[in-house]
């Protein structure tokens, strides 16, 4: 498949009606007036990386300091933990600035978001796993970055680390001193900086990337990942008729706004409302999705990880559910085999299951037990970080895929 620049993909996406792009010839036209910064400026997030983090981590890599930092990571888990004495002085100074919530973080909203996560846990685990997780494989840059980085060589471990991030974000005390998410976010931010330094050194990655001068994991790429997670999940909950109060929806968004900030995304790129998030998602995510050889391989590996858990359904049912929550177009891109009998069960049974669970129907569907075991098993997989263990530490890579 011929490589396409992001500008050309956006233009093509607009021409095909895949997104509402104000100026398809421009690389970026989303105004920050709809961001939490509300500054009404236009800046391309694909040209913004992490100036506060990247040079420092590049220096650590060049000086061979990363293994010692990873060892020190083991004792740095809770948000309230003291910074390890083994950290380099430069890292300590950096974390004294960034290992904290932004001044605009609202503890009331974050607490409400935690309650929302608890109430929606079954749906969230299902959508994060079979929806967002598989969607990531049809985001070309994300799929190629993952595949050719060190994590791509061991997708079981890579997936477990992704589960760690998601689980820590969903925990009731995620943003409190006893929680892990602020620390996990900083470890992830440092990891992103390492990948930005390392991937351009990979000949295999450079052979498939869409821009030979491209530096991976820009603010734009992180925004795309957010939309494949938070924005996508919010939209699916709405489409399924899940009852959410305005305060709950606002709290769920606020949780993600804080998460983006902690990953180094500038406030002028972070949507201030779900309306703004949906608009940005249609602009930056929808027209960019496409199949790649790397993504097809990664999707197959990710779906095979569920074989460790008895989902109570066939593999065909699982694949059809992925098609159901993402689309048959994406299913075809990923070459997921069809199981039309399972699809019929899903299309009839899932809406009835949701309606009964949400108290919208007094009639228990005949397929209730099938779906209930399915979502509970996926929830347990999520709670175990995609493995048989309960915790997989995030570590900074020192190389690319062998």
Model-level pTM?
Answer: 0.90
Residue 13 has pLDDT above 50, yes or no: no
Spatial distance between the Cα atoms of 162 and 217, rounded to a whole number of angstroms: 15
Closest CA to 12 of 384, 209, 288: 288
Answer yes or no: are the C-beta atoms of 201 and 149 closer than 8 Å: no
Residue 335's region, left for phi above 0, alpha for psi from -120 to 50, else beta, is left
| pLDDT (0 to 100) of residue 20 | 38
In tens, the pLDDT along 180-237 reads: 999 999 999 999 999 999 999 999 999 998 765 679 999 999 999 999 999 999 999 9
Q: How many CB atoms lie within 10 A of CB 199?
A: 24
Average pLDDT over residues 57-71: 98
Closest CA to 8 of 24, 30, 20, 28: 24
3-state helix, strand, coil in the chain (%, to 5): 65, 0, 35
Spatial distance between the Cα atoms of 117 and 120, rounded to a whole number of angstroms: 5
Q: How confident is the model at residue 376 (pLDDT cuts 50, 70, 90)?
A: confident
Q: How confident is the model at residue 106 (pLDDT cuts 50, 70, 90)?
A: very high
Closest CA to 141 of 212, 217, 213: 217
Residue whose structure tokens are 């997708």: 155
Residue 177 has pLDDT above 60, yes or no: yes
Q: How confident is the model at residue 8 (pLDDT cuts 50, 70, 90)?
A: very low
Answer yes or no: are the C-beta atoms of 386 and 159 closer than 8 Å: yes
Print burial letters for 288-317: b (CB count within 10 Å at least 16), e (below 16).
bbbbbebbbbbbebbbebbeeeebebeebb
% of the chain beyond a pLDDT of 90 = 73
Output the CA angle 378-382-388, nearest 5 degrees: 100
Average pLDDT over residues 17-21: 37
Residue 268 has pLDDT above 90, yes or no: yes
Answer yes or no: are the C-beta atoms of 394 and 162 closer than 8 Å: no
Q: CB under 8 Å, gap of 24 or more: what pairs does 365-371 form?
A: 370/312, 370/313, 370/345
Helix axes 219-226, 140-148, angle to 10 degrees: 110
| pLDDT (0 to 100) of residue 335 | 97
| pLDDT (0 to 100) of residue 162 | 79
Spatial distance between the Cα atoms of 171 and 116, rounded to a whole number of angstroms: 11
Give the C-alpha distances (Å, rounded to integers) separating 185 from 67, 213, 311: 19, 27, 30
Tokens (6 digits) for 238 = 């709405």
| pLDDT (0 to 100) of residue 277 | 97
Answer yes or no: are the C-beta atoms of 393 and 331 closer than 8 Å: no
Residue 31 has pLDDT above 60, yes or no: yes
Q: Which residue has better confidence, 219 or 22?
A: 219
For the chain, the straight-line distance linking the first and the last C-alpha, in angstroms and rounded, comes to 24
| pLDDT (0 to 100) of residue 6 | 46
Q: How confident is the model at residue 307 (pLDDT cuts 50, 70, 90)?
A: low
Tokens (6 digits) for 65 = 């300091």
Average pLDDT over residues 394-402: 94
Residue 389 has pLDDT above 50, yes or no: no
């Amino acid at each position: 498949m011929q490589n396409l620049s992001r500008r050309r993909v956006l233009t093509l996406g607009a021409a095909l009606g895949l997104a509402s792009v104000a100026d398809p010839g421009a690389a970026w036209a989303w105004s920050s007036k709809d961001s939490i910064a509300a500054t009404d400026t236009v800046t391309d997030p694909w040209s913004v990386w992490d100036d506060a983090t990247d040079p420092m981590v590049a220096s650590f890599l060049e000086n061979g300091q990363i293994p010692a930092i990873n060892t020190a990571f083991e004792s740095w888990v809770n948000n309230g933990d003291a910074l390890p004495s083994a950290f380099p002085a430069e890292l300590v100074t950096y974390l004294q600035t960034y290992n904290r919530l932004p001044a605009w973080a609202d503890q009331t909203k974050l607490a409400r978001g935690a309650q929302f996560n608890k109430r929606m846990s079954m749906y969230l685990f299902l959508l994060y796993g079979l929806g967002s997780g598989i969607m990531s494989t049809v985001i070309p840059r994300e799929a190629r970055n993952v595949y050719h980085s060190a994590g791509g060589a061991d997708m079981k471990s890579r997936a477990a680390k992704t589960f760690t991030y998601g689980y820590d974000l969903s925990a009731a005390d995620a943003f409190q001193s006893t929680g892990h998410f602020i620390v996990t976010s900083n470890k992830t931010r440092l990891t992103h900086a390492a990948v930005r330094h390392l991937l351009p050194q990979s000949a295999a990655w450079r052979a498939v990337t869409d821009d030979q001068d491209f530096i991976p994991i820009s603010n734009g790429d992180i925004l795309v990942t957010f939309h494949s997670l938070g924005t996508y999940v919010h939209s699916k909950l709405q489409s399924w008729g899940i009852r959410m109060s305005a305060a709950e929806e606002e709290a769920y968004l606020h949780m993600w706004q804080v998460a983006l900030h902690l990953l180094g995304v500038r406030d002028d790129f972070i949507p201030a409302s779900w309306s703004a998030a949906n608009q940005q998602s249609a602009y930056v995510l929808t027209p960019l999705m496409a199949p790649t050889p790397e993504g097809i391989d990664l999707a197959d590996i990710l779906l095979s990880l569920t074989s460790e858990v008895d989902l109570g359904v066939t593999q065909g049912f699982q694949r059809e559910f992925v098609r159901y929550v993402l689309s048959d177009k994406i299913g075809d891109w990923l070459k997921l085999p069809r199981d039309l009998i399972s699809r019929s069960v899903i299309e009839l049974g899932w809406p009835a299951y949701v309606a009964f669970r949400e108290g919208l129907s007094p009639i228990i569907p005949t397929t209730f037990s099938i779906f209930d075991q399915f979502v509970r098993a996926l929830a347990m997989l999520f709670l175990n970080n995609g493995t048989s263990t309960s915790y997989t530490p995030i570590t900074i890579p020192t190389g690319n895929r062998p």
